[in-house]
Amino acid sequence: MSASYPLQTAIRVRTYELDSFGHVNNAEYLHYLEEARSEFLLQMGLSFHDFAAHHVQLVIVEASLRFVSPARYGDEIVIRGRCRDVRPASAWIDYVLTDRATGRVVATAETKGAFIDAATSKPCRAPEPFRTAFGAYTGAESG
């Protein structure tokens, strides 16, 4: 695992994710990022149950993807991530998606998540466990 991208998971490309050209459909990458965020939470010592316990939600308010090379059926895509710009009520996550077999970059991405109060749907401060966990996984070199 790379120190600059301390979070990691993998997804194997399935047939139903392909477009008519045999490549992973562009929209599927957002699903891959969603799955990665779920796994990243577990790696940070949190889970989706913690959102309910703290009465908050994390909604994606921005997403950007750059497609570098196509992924195809059967490819195992390694998704590495790090948190960035962790603020009291939001944080960015950076991603690099690579083919496990070749190491080639498939895509890069970033998402911005904002915390909202589950009852009111209004922005709110992230609970301390989330701020601490996100801050610990920035990929910054310790020193």
CATH code for position 108:
3.10.129.10
pLDDT at 3 over 90: no
Question: Does any domain span residue 2?
Answer: no
Mean pLDDT of the chain: 95
- pLDDT at residue 143, as a whole number: 38
Degrees, nearest 5: CA angle 53-56-57: 120
* pLDDT given at position 140: 72
- Catalytic-role residue among 19, 50, 94, 117: 19
Q: Give the range of the structural domain holding residue 102, as residue numbers without chain letter.
A: 7-136
pLDDT at residue 99 tops 60: yes
Confidence of residue 97 (pLDDT cuts 50, 70, 90): very high
pLDDT, mean of residues 55-76: 98
142 domain-assigned: no
Q: Is 141 a residue whose pLDDT tops 60?
A: no
Looking at the domain assignment, is residue 141 inside a domain? no
| 99 classed as catalytic | no
Structurally, the chain folds into a number of domains equal to 1
pLDDT attached to residue 142: 42
> What strands, in cross-sheet order, belong to the sheet with 76-84?
7-12, 76-84, 90-99, 105-117, 56-67
**Segment (H or E) for 141:** none
pLDDT, mean of residues 20-31: 97
